[in-house]
Amino acid sequence: MYEFTSPFQQPSGSPIRELFKYLSEPGMISFAGGYPASDLFDVEGLRLAAERAYASAVQCLQYGPTDGLATLKRQIVDLMERRGASCEADEVVATTGSQQGLDLLLRVLVEPGDVVLTEEPAYPATLQAFRLQRARIVAVPTDAHGIRVDELAALLESGACGRPKLLYTVPTFANPTGATLAAERRRALLALAVKYRFVVIEDDPYGDLRFAGAPLRSLLAEAEQVDGARNWVVHFASLSKIVAPGLRVGWMVGPREIMRRCVIAKQTVDLCSSPWTQAVAAEYLAAGALEQHLPKITAAYGVKCRELCSALREQLGAAIEFQQPEGGMFVWARLPGIDASDLLARAIEQKVIFVPGKAFYADAADGAALRLSFAAPDVEAIREGARRMKQAYDAVR
């Protein structure tokens, strides 16, 4: 009856959201979601921030600037400074989660048919955003130390992918792999961006969630050390995983010329993100509440991660392969010889869910891979979930 545009003729929703229907089943244990732990939200700290924000009620209730409330942008500049990356307010655009930043950036940079590079496996919503923009996706493989910059260099050198417009990566505690890009690869990646003139999108929602190992400088911070590289990095950040997703407060930091165009696109897309939740975020950050509360989240995630890894080893032994992450929310595992979609069907019978790896690939997938999130379930549920994974594994083998 209707004539939909080509990406929507046979629309497919998020493969992860498809699993949500199982969450309401009694007794279901979920390793599937990308949600942060609800019981770790700083409910009282945010209540106080909201009270202070509403003292300027008109600022909360009226339209705000398209690029974000000035008070929030000041806090973001300070936070980025503490994270080792200097920037100024006009290099920052506040967005409705960092997801919106990606959408805006693709609109101003990517014409249909343009080549975009992505690490693989990769965050499914990014792959979907590329498809909606009708980009040609070229995947670059990753290993335990993040994106294979040597393979990227060979690809670019060969000219096989033309001049790509951009490259997408989550260099710190990647989704889904949990891997972190090694420091020398960071510099090499930036040098390639300068040489081949493509934008590196550094998606960094998890960087603060480190519970082991030593911190690394972000690509944005590292770019100050690589000649010309700041012209080619757009950094996405968000309060969703470190404060609360319900604020829908994310931001991007990038070259002024690109940011200015993203703001013009945002005027048409939604005029502005909610100044009310932006004001709450600004008050929360100004009070130092992030630094005060964050250690509670990272400590809890560290415990959960170790628990999941040891329970998986205990239950599945040599049958399962994975690398224990140093932060973030995800364990990326392989069960050689097993198809993860078959495993999921049996797992659902055992009342445990996870995300089969194929959701994270643009084309040919590693069928034996799966993503397990340890953020939301408690330690008891993690142990029981691992036992059920073993039962599902035995059933499918």
Which range binds a copy of itself by CB under 8 A, 123-131, 185-193, 309-317, 318-326? 123-131
Q: Is 56 in the site for a copy of itself (CB under 8 A)?
A: no
Tell me the CA distances in angstroms from 106 to 68, 149, 165, one per residue in order. 19, 23, 10
Question: Rounded to an integer, what distance in angstroms lies between the CA atom of residue 220 and that of residue 356?
Answer: 32
Q: Is 193 in the site for a copy of itself (CB under 8 A)?
A: no
Site pattern 35..54 for a copy of itself (x: CB under 8 A): xx-x--x-x--xx--x---x
Name the token pair of 6.
């080509």
Q: Which of 132, 137, 365, 379 binds a copy of itself (CB under 8 A)?
A: 132
Contact flag: residue 18 with a copy of itself (CB under 8 A): no
Find the binding residues for a copy of itself in span 79-108 (CB under 8 A): 96-97, 99-100, 103, 107-108
For the window 304-323, what string marks contact with a copy of itself as x by the rule CB under 8 A? --------------------
Provide the 10 A C-beta neighbour count for residue 143: 12
Q: Quick one: the chain helix, strand, coil %, rounded to 5?
A: 50, 15, 35
Q: Could you give the CA distance from residue 373 to residue 181 in angstroms, rounded to a whole number? A: 20
Quote the least distance from Cβ 168 to a copy of itself, whole Å: 14
Closest approach, Cβ 233 to a copy of itself, in A, equals 13
Listed ranges 12-20, 80-88, 299-307, 352-360: which one lies at the site for a copy of itself (CB under 8 A): 12-20
Q: Does 231 bind a copy of itself (CB under 8 A)?
A: yes
Range 351-390, binding a copy of itself (CB under 8 A): none
Q: By CB under 8 A, is residue 270 in contact with a copy of itself?
A: yes
Q: In angstroms, give the least distance from the CB of 389 to a copy of itself.
A: 25
**Contact between 60 and a copy of itself per CB under 8 A:** yes
Of 292, 375, 294, 329, nearest to 37 by C-alpha is 375
- Are 308 and 178 in contact, with CB atoms under 8 Å apart? no
Q: Which of 68, 121, 178, 245 binds a copy of itself (CB under 8 A)?
A: 245
Any contact of residue 63 with a copy of itself (CB under 8 A)? yes
Nearest approach, Cβ of residue 41 and a copy of itself (Å): 5
Q: Kindly identify the residues of this chain, within the stretch 161-190, that bind a copy of itself according to CB under 8 A.
A: 165
Beta carbons within 8 Å of 70's beta carbon, 6+ residues apart: 89
Q: How many residues bind a copy of itself (CB under 8 A)?
A: 75
248 vs 351 by CB, closer to a copy of itself: 248
Q: Which stretch binds a copy of itself (CB under 8 A): 63-71, 171-179, 183-191, 346-354?
A: 63-71
Query: Minimum Å distance from CB 100 to a copy of itself?
Result: 5
Closest to 37 in 3D by CA, of 207, 240, 203, 208: 240
Widest CA span in the chain? 61
- Could you give the count of Cα atoms lying within 13 Å of 357 in the half-sphere of its Cβ? 20
Here the tokens at position 88 are 């100024």
Out of 125, 294, 303, 396, which residue is the one contacting a copy of itself (CB under 8 A)?
Answer: 125
Pairing, β 166-169 against β 199-203: parallel
The reply to whether 113 sits near a copy of itself by the rule CB under 8 A is: no
CB 351 within 8 A of CB 394: no
CB nearer to a copy of itself: pick between 99 and 180: 99
Q: Does 247 bind a copy of itself (CB under 8 A)?
A: yes
Distances (CA, A) of 84 to 77, 87, 217, 219: 11, 10, 7, 10
Q: Which of 26, 27, 268, 363 binds a copy of itself (CB under 8 A)?
A: 268
Written as one string, the DSSP assignment of 59-89 is HHHS---TT--HHHHHHHHHHHHHTT----G
